[in-house]
Amino acid sequence: MTIENLPEKYQTLWAECLPLLKLGRPGDDEHAAETVKLVLDYRGRLEFDADVLIPVAMLHDIGHSAILPEHFKYITGQNKLVNGKLVHMLAGAKIAHDLLHKIGYDSEKAKEIVEIIAMHDTDQLKIEDWKSWYETQNKKVFHDLDALDRYTEKRLRSMVDSGMYDMDEILKELSRLLDNFIFPEVRKKAEENLNKISL
């Protein structure tokens, strides 16, 4: 899988990421590629460091590659979803650290990339003050662009086709999650996308 118009300086990292993403949940590789495209194609008013957010987009869900199906029997109870989110963020941070070190990525940028990966789904952990965790501009922008990819027909169809989700449940959850967008311009785009979906 290639990412159209991916600058050459990120291609080595993408080549390292892709095999691991394919070991994760079905569609993680496509989600990573789509999120990279959202960062590359962004033309709005929000400022961010592409040298941080493009690698984050590639790596943020790579922790799912370390969670085998048999591991899920140990992630139990009412906090199963929350615990699964924690595991994939922490495993992903370690994998990202190792890959960035392996390819010799800028150490200061790598530190920030790993930090974002370690907390990127905090809004889904049922923490009352979750927005306080997104204290930098890069964290805030990535949060919204990552979430925006969920609001596409292609992504919804892949979630339903996986058999893990029911369409009515997904649409209800996406409507609820509109309140989690930090920036009004990204929330507006998500609402527009949601209104266009016809499955």
Per residue of the chain (199 residues), give pLDDT as tens: 899 999 999 999 999 999 999 998 888 999 999 999 999 999 999 999 999 999 999 999 999 898 876 776 766 666 666 777 888 999 999 999 999 999 999 999 999 999 999 999 999 888 889 999 999 999 999 999 999 988 988 888 777 776 666 778 788 888 988 999 999 999 999 999 998 876 5
Q: CA neighbours within 13 Å on the CB side: how many for 169?
A: 6
Q: At what angle do helices 137-148 and 28-41 cross, to 10 degrees?
A: 120
Residue 3 lies in a domain: no
Domain range enclosing 140:
8-196
Q: How many structural domains is the chain composed of?
A: 1
Q: What is the CATH number of the domain that holds 114?
A: 1.10.3210.10
Whole-model pTM: value is 0.90
Is residue 1 a part of any domain in this protein? Answer: no
Residue 170 covered by a domain: yes
Q: Does residue 2 lie in a domain region?
A: no
